[in-house]
A and B are shown apart, each in its own frame.
Chain A
Amino acid sequence: MINREAIIEMMTAGENQSNEQGLIPSMGVYLQQLPTELWNNYLYRMINAVEPAMFRPLEILFSNAASECSYHTFGQLVNTPEIWNAVKQFTDGSEEADIHALFAIVSGLGMGDIHVEELIPGEKLVVRAYRYYEGEVLEFGQYPRPCSFTYQGAFSSVMDAIYGENLGDFLCTQTKGIECGDAYGEFVIVKATEEMKMERTSYNI
């Protein structure tokens, strides 16, 4: 369906080159390259600082932010012919292949070893992340529940970008996490019900 290796090779070849403004233009966006420790410090200090009752609101806040970012960036990739044609040359051209290709791009950005496990076009996506930086934070023990909020939001937006009409048409539930003792992270993305959409907008923190 896709040549995943070739897409990752294309994404990771060469250095990120900053211009005279100290910015890294790439694929229609500005990149920044920073230690994963920085992002994990931020997320997990936020998680550890809030009262248990505020865990879910914080999860929604972070995952909404990630999906908003990724929805625009994935949408831009897919809708920019000079970029997307370069990716499509390594796919069979199907819509299903587009989903697989976007996850190859996610891996090529350095976000982890991430694969599509199950795809029902337009309906459901199950993603497995065998290595991912938000899962690799603890030196001992485990969290009682999955905490990879950035990945949750980013992954749901892939379905939004390919099959949705609007941001938030699909939502993600993380069912497994390395951070909570599982062998891999698992993310289940389904069409959002009205109830799910309400929950996403009902917290006002």
Chain B
Amino acid sequence: MVKFSADRKYDKERAIFVVNGHDYTNHCHRFLSVAIRTAMDAKNIVNGPRILEGAVEDSMRTVFLDTFRQQQIVSMSERIELIESYYSWAGLGVISFDAVGKNGGEVSLSSSHADEAWKLMIGEATEPINFITKGFIAAAFGCLYDQPARFYHVQEVASIILGSEKSIFKVYLP
């Protein structure tokens, strides 16, 4: 089983964490939930959820491609294991790439930081809120199939925050 290998150091001068050459910061679940809510609240002036998804997709693409190279991970199955491992390492929950092909597939969460954060900080939701995982999944499929950003679209079709046992994401080509 391939796992994400983190060379994590605290840069005292800059007061920031550096993981495998990239700058990282810790935020709490409250921060993540209000960041998501801000994207939704701003919808009258800007497409906040889409911007958040794209922001995640682009930053995760860099992480995935660098990590494939750093850990010399070549096979599809090992790359998927590594991406799943990263999701938990980051504290985002437990993700499973259940069906993966060049035309899309299906991904599920049995545990979700975003949904738990929303429940704890904000309460109930009336629509799916996990834009961060949508961007994460789009980045994963793009990197697995050597496709550009925004190539894959992701839709959250079942959500833990809305009462489902698992969150389920459909991945498709527009």
Q: Contact residues of A with B, CB < 8 Å?
A: 8, 12, 15-16, 18, 20-24, 29-39, 41-42, 45-46, 49-51, 54, 57-58, 61-62, 65-66, 68-70, 72-73, 107-114, 131, 133, 205
Chain B: minimal CB distance from A27 (Å) = 8
Q: Judging by beta carbons under 8 Å apart, are B25 and A111 in contact?
A: yes
Report 7 cross-chain contacts, Cβ distance below 8 Å, ordered by A residue. Answer: A18-B88, A33-B25, A35-B62, A35-B63, A39-B35, A42-B55, A73-B28
List, in ascending order, chain B residues with CB within 8 A of A110's CB. Answer: 10, 15-17, 24-26
List, in ascending order, chain A residues with CB within 8 A of B35's CB. Answer: 39, 42, 65
Segment 103-127 of B: residues with Cβ below 8 Å from A:
111, 113, 116-117, 121
Chain B: minimal CB distance from A52 (Å) = 12
List, in ascending order, chain B residues with CB within 8 A of A21's CB. Answer: 93-94, 111
List, in ascending order, chain B residues with CB within 8 A of A20's CB. Answer: 94
Contacting chain A: which of B43-51, B140-148, B163-171?
A: B43-51
List, in ascending order, chain B residues with CB within 8 A of A61's CB. Answer: 38, 41-42
Q: Judging by beta carbons under 8 Å apart, are A22 and B31 in contact?
A: no
Q: Which of A29, A42, A50, A112 contacts B16 (CB 8 A)?
A: A112
Q: Contact residues of B with A, CB < 8 Å?
A: 6, 8, 10, 12-17, 19, 22-35, 37-39, 41-42, 44-48, 51-52, 54-56, 58-60, 62-63, 87-95, 111, 113, 116-117, 121
Q: Judging by beta carbons under 8 Å apart, are A69 and B15 in contact?
A: no
Q: Judging by beta carbons under 8 Å apart, are B46 and A49 in contact?
A: yes
Q: How many A-B residue pairs have CB under 8 A?
A: 181
Given contacts A31-B91, A33-B26, 12 further A-B contacts (CB under 8 A): A12-B17, A30-B28, A30-B113, A33-B24, A35-B62, A39-B35, A58-B42, A62-B38, A109-B25, A110-B10, A110-B25, A205-B44
Assuming the A-B contacts A31-B27, A205-B45, are A38 and B56 also in contact, with contact meaning beta carbons closer than 8 angstroms in the complex?
Answer: yes
Q: Judging by beta carbons under 8 Å apart, are B91 and A32 in contact?
A: yes
Q: Judging by beta carbons under 8 Å apart, are B38 and A29 in contact?
A: no
- A111–B28 CA distance with the chains assembled, in angstroms: 12
Chain A: minimal CB distance from B65 (Å) = 13
- A146–B23 CA distance with the chains assembled, in angstroms: 21
List, in ascending order, chain B residues with CB within 8 A of A23's CB. Answer: 91, 93, 111, 113, 116
Q: Judging by beta carbons under 8 Å apart, are B89 and A73 in contact?
A: no
- A162–B52 CA distance with the chains assembled, in angstroms: 32
List, in ascending order, chain B residues with CB within 8 A of A73's CB. Answer: 28, 30-31
Chain B: minimal CB distance from A7 (Å) = 12
Q: Judging by beta carbons under 8 Å apart, are B55 and A34 in contact?
A: no
Highest count of chain A CB atoms <10 Å: which of B27, B38, B60:
B27
**Closest residue of A by beta carbon distance from B94:** A22
Q: Judging by beta carbons under 8 Å apart, are B12 and A36 in contact?
A: no
